[in-house]
């Protein structure tokens, strides 16, 4: 019972995106560079092994730019594998937008990267992400923000 | 008693974008009082997963359409409920009507 209560408290206090997983005004040469930059945050915060980054790049190479699921925003991810150490999400905003080749949603200036250990246990993280994507005001603010503290606050405010 | 509608949301791996699309489809169905089961699948297994309608992205649509004989709805913006209502809902209603015949 105590365990369950702790679980609930942990969940409600958990960050959607930790400060170390946010980077603003990043320079990326092209879409691959952008995906790798977002992936590198998850790598240095020990959410993934390096292979996962290339898995995310390969997903777009194999299947096309479908990860640009809303205008100007890409949700980079790959299949849950052993390369994922814990569930997580990162966000980069780009200094200059890049083309993913998406007919309708290019150019991209924000890239979220997410990693999940299994299909089931990241649903909550995705719901949180949808909550952010749904909020046009939040997205507009994030797009132009220069201060990580402020970005962190916007992303994680309950 | 008519059978329950099965909708499949498809993305590359069936774990990311299709989950987001599934959430949005469910919201639209609920608002319109339509009962259906919404599942997700990856693009490789979409054609072998029994369903009545497939929702996916424009990029994956071409890949899927030739392999299935159910209607395929292509969505550009996965969190835009207006697009799901305008492009998806007529197809959902058509299929539901065909259940009654």
What is the ipTM metric for this complex? 0.87
Any domain includes B97: no
CB contact under 8 Å between A119 and B16, yes or no, is: no
Crossing angle of the two packed helices A50-63 and B58-65, in degrees rounded to 10 = 60
CA of A24: how far to CAs of A14, A143, A146, B14, B48, in Å? 22, 9, 6, 29, 42
Q: Which residue has tokens 């590359």?
A: B12
State the smallest CA–CA distance between residue B93 and chain A in angstroms. 25
Q: Which residues of A touch B23 (CB under 8 A)?
A: 126-127, 130
Any domain includes B36: yes
**Nearest CB to B11: which of A66, A80, A123?**
A66
What kind and span of H or E run contains A126?
A: helix A123-133
Domain that holds residue B75: 5-92
**SS3 call for B86:** helix
Q: Which residues of A touch B24 (CB under 8 A)?
A: 130
| Tally of domains within chain B | 1
Question: Domain holding B87: CATH number?
Answer: 3.40.50.2300
Any domain includes B101: no
Neighbours of A144 (CB within 10 A): 10
Please state, in angstroms and rounded to a whole number, the distance separating the CA atoms of residues A129 and A35.
17
Q: Which residues of A touch B79 (CB under 8 A)?
A: 69-70, 130, 133-134
C-alpha dihedral sign at A151, A31, A26, A86: positive
CB contact under 8 Å between B78 and A69, yes or no, is: yes
User: Nearest 5°: phi and psi at A144?
Assistant: -110, 10
Structure confidence by residue, pLDDT tens digits, B5-34: 999 999 988 888 899 999 999 999 999 999
B86, with CB counted inside 10 A (0-12, 13-18, 19+), is exposed
pLDDT at B3: 80
Q: Collect the ranges in chain A with pLDDT lower than 70.
A: 1-13, 121, 158
From B5, B11, B73, B91, the catalytic residue: B11
Any domain includes B98: no
Please state, in angstroms and rounded to a whole number, the distance separating the CA atoms of residues A50 and A132.
27
Structure confidence by residue, pLDDT tens digits, A9-49: 444 567 889 999 999 999 999 999 999 999 999 999 999 99
Give catalytic status of residue B11 as yes or no.
Answer: yes
Any domain includes B56: yes
pLDDT at A10: 47
Any domain includes B27: yes
């Amino acid at each position: 019972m105590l365990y369950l209560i702790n679980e609930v408290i942990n969940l409600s206090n958990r960050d959607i995106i930790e400060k170390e997983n946010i980077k603003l005004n990043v320079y990326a040469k092209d879409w691959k560079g952008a995906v790798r930059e977002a992936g590198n945050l998850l790598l240095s915060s020990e959410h993934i092994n390096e292979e996962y980054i290339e898995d995310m790049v390969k997903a777009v190479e194999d299947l096309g730019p479908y990860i640009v699921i809303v205008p100007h925003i890409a949700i980079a991810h790959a299949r849950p594998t052993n390369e994922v150490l814990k569930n997580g999400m990162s966000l980069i905003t780009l200094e200059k937008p890049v083309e993913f080749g998406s007919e309708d949603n290019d150019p991209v200036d924000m890239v979220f990267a997410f990693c999940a250990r299994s299909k089931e246990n990241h649903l909550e993280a995705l719901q949180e992400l949808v909550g952010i994507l749904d909020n046009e005001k939040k997205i507009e603010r994030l797009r132009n923000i220069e201060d990580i503290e402020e970005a962190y606050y916007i992303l994680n405010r309950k | 008693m008519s059978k329950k509608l099965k909708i499949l949301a498809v993305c590359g791996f069936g774990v990311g974008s299709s989950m987001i699309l599934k959430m949005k489809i469910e919201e639209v169905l609920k608002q319109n009082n339509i009962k259906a089961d919404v599942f997700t699948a990856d693009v490789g297994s979409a054609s072998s997963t029994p369903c009545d309608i497939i929702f996916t992205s424009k990029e994956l649509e071409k890949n899927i359409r030739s392999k299935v004989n159910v209607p395929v709805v292509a969505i550009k913006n996965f969190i835009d409920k207006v697009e799901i209502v305008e492009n998806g809902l007529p197809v959902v209603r058509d299929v539901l009507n065909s259940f009654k015949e």
